């Protein structure tokens, strides 16, 4: 069972999420919280697998709560849900350690699939959020038209990556799945999965979302764009 904690300051929304999730055989809602501080306490007490976290709440907001939970309970994954399709919320939540970001208008099947993905250790960022992040950050970054060689990477955090791993990381940052990366780079999905694992290990990040954040922060995104 995937144990889920619901965090939102609107009780009706929590009820709606509970009804959707408890209809699934492999998901159990173990608790609820109406603010970030209570969410942190509930995670300590209940150790859920996944937290559905609202962003705007009274007192401790969802981004601050996410940072506290990730620091204290790294095994718990955070899936941010919000009505605010704004770049600063998306990027701040991901930098705080969230493993996914979805808007509240996502359909129930999308929400359920996202919970299963983050529970299994994968990451979820909606294509819309990825596009907005690209629109916001790419113009601020130098564009050479090619992926740099590892030795030429500006940020030392990228120095250990091979040229192929840089290509894979860039594709991840563009929101591509393993299957899409395999098709783009003429690799097998198994090979792509191996590359992804090595990238995460070399960068010292725990999932694909954190790799995406690092790709933006280091300026890698933008260089390989047409």
Query: pLDDT digit of tens for each residue in the chain (226 aa)?
Result: 999 999 999 999 999 999 999 999 999 999 999 999 999 999 999 999 999 999 888 889 999 999 999 999 988 999 988 776 665 676 787 788 888 888 888 889 989 988 998 888 776 666 566 666 656 655 554 443 334 444 354 578 888 999 999 999 988 887 777 888 899 999 998 999 899 999 999 998 877 878 887 887 787 775 444 3
Q: What is the pLDDT, as a whole number, of residue 176?
A: 79
Question: Between vectors from CA 3 to CA 17 and to CA 120, what angle results, nearest 5°?
Answer: 105
Q: What is the pLDDT, as a whole number, of residue 4?
A: 97
Same-domain check for residues 130 and 168: no
Residue with structure tokens 């780079």? 185
Same-domain check for residues 128 and 147: no
What CATH number is associated with residue 197? Answer: 1.10.10.10
Tokens of 90: 């998306």
Between CA 35 and CA 63 the distance in angstroms is 11
Inter-residue contact 80 to 101 (CB < 8 Å): yes
User: Is residue 85 in some structural domain?
Assistant: yes
Instruction: Provide the domain count of the chain.
Output: 2
What CATH number is associated with residue 62? Answer: 3.40.50.2300
Same-domain check for residues 148 and 68: no
Counting every residue written for the chain, the total comes to: 226
Q: What is the pLDDT, as a whole number, of residue 215?
A: 85
Domain that holds residue 130: 2-134
User: Is residue 225 in some structural domain?
Assistant: no
Same-domain check for residues 128 and 154: no
Between CA 8 and CA 81 the distance in angstroms is 9
User: Is residue 122 in some structural domain?
Assistant: yes
User: Is residue 113 in some structural domain?
Assistant: yes
Tokens of 179: 């299957």
Query: 134, 168, 202 — which closes off a domain?
Result: 134
What 3-state DSSP class applies to 202?
helix
Between CA 106 and CA 83 the distance in angstroms is 10
């Amino acid at each position: 069972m995937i144990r889920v904690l619901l965090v939102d300051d609107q009780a009706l929304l929590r009820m709606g999420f509970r009804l959707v999730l408890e209809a699934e055989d492999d998901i159990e809602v173990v608790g609820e919280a109406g603010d970030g501080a209570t969410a942190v306490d509930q995670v300590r007490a209940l150790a859920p697998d996944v937290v559905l976290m609202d962003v705007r709440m009274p007192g401790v907001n969802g981004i601050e709560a996410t940072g506290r939970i990730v620091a204290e309970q790294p095994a718990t994954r955070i899936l941010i849900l919000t009505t605010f399709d704004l770049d600063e919320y998306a990027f701040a939540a991901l930098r705080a350690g969230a493993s996914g970001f979805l808007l509240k208008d996502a359909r129930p099947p999308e929400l359920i699939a996202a919970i299963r993905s983050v529970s299994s250790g994968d990451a979820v960022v909606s294509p819309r959020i990825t596009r907005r992040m690209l629109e916001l950050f790419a113009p601020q970054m130098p564009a050479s038209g090619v992926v740099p060689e590892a030795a030429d990477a500006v940020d030392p955090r990228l120095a250990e990556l091979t040229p192929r791993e840089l290509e894979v990381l860039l594709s991840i940052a563009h929101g591509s799945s393993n299957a899409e990366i395999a098709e783009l780079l003429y690799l097998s999905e198994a090979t792509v999965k191996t590359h992804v694992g090595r990238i995460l290990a070399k960068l010292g990040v725990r999932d694909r979302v954190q790799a995406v954040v690092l790709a933006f922060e280091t300026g890698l995104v933008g260089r390989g764009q047409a």
